[in-house]
Amino acid sequence: MQKRKLGNQGLEVSAIGLGCMGMSFSYAPFPPESVSIDLIHKAVEEGITFFDTAEVYGPYTNEELVGKALKPFRNQVQIATKFGFRIQDGKMMGVDSRPETIRKAVEGSLKRLNVECIDLLYQHRVDPNIPIEEVAGTVKDLIKEGKAKYFGLSEAGAASIRKAHVEQSVSALQSEFSLWTRQHESEIIPTIEELGIGFVPFSPLGKGFLTGTMEKNRKFESGDIRGVIPRFTQEAQMANQALIDVIANFAQMKSVTNAQIALAWVLARNPMTVPIPGTTKIHRLIENNRAINITFTPQELAELNTASKEVKIIGARYTEAQEKATGL
């Protein structure tokens, strides 16, 4: 597996990471713990060194899983986790990035991950009630104390990124980005490229849709976030099939899969882009990792950009309530 740098502060990770959220949060039904541990171990064997989790995934259970699975490989991998929500009685109660909340979250994450220091510590979502400079300052102190190595933001706007970066260098921005979620191309991505901040796209396969393997008229089980997302209604899926057709044409041309084309397109963004596709299946993990070997000529990339942009995507990426509450 190739390596890529995230930011200019020294963080270097595998060119493709593994998003671990779906192993215990948002994409029910979840596999047995032993299956997820085997998959994480296979990821390490495949050369993945970058693993993503958060305290709210569960809450807490995903960090515990990742910590348990990666304990034998601690010196070989980098673990990213996130703070930024108030959790009460096992439920996420809204954003909260007060310094005392950040510190409490970090202490909990260190214990659950069974580590002395968090490799990449993200603010999960911007808290409009707490100045971003205060958040960055708190993380700066945690880095000085040896409890975190690098600072990241998730789904932050350009102004917040700039303000935070002045107080404490931001190594990575994690935000949703794929061939059907491209709103960050106009302002956010140019901002982080200007500042030398790495980009960690989550849901680079469009929550599975861009693979082209999702059954038509699929009904999602209770606990699967896609069951309430407007973009995954039957009508929207039928309309958005046009994008799958575009991807499939390129996949056929290069004798690869749709998923590999979608990931290769994200990887081609710039050398500081590290997507974190999630999966619970080892054969999908291996398939995703092979995307690193796919390259586009400038003409091919231009053609894919043009063809995909011509498809009008139907359905919002989240419900209004989801956007307001978490953006997950």
Q: Which structural domain, as residue segments, surrounds residue 255?
A: 3-325
Helix/strand/coil percent split, the chain, to 5: 45, 20, 35
Answering whether pTM is above 0.95, one says yes
Candidates 27, 57, 122, 150; catalytic one: 57
Per-residue pLDDT, 323: 77
Per-residue pLDDT, 84: 97
Low-confidence ranges of the chain (pLDDT < 50): 327-328
Q: How far is CA 61 from the centre of its chain?
A: 18
Per the document, the length of the chain is 328
Number of structural domains found in the chain: 1
Give the 3-state secondary structure of residue 198. strand
Q: For helices 298-309 and 258-267, what crossing angle results, to 10°? A: 110
Per-residue pLDDT, 326: 54
Residue 91 amino acid letter = K
Q: Residue 16 sits in a domain of what CATH number?
A: 3.20.20.100
Catalytic-residue membership of 57: yes
Per-residue pLDDT, 328: 46
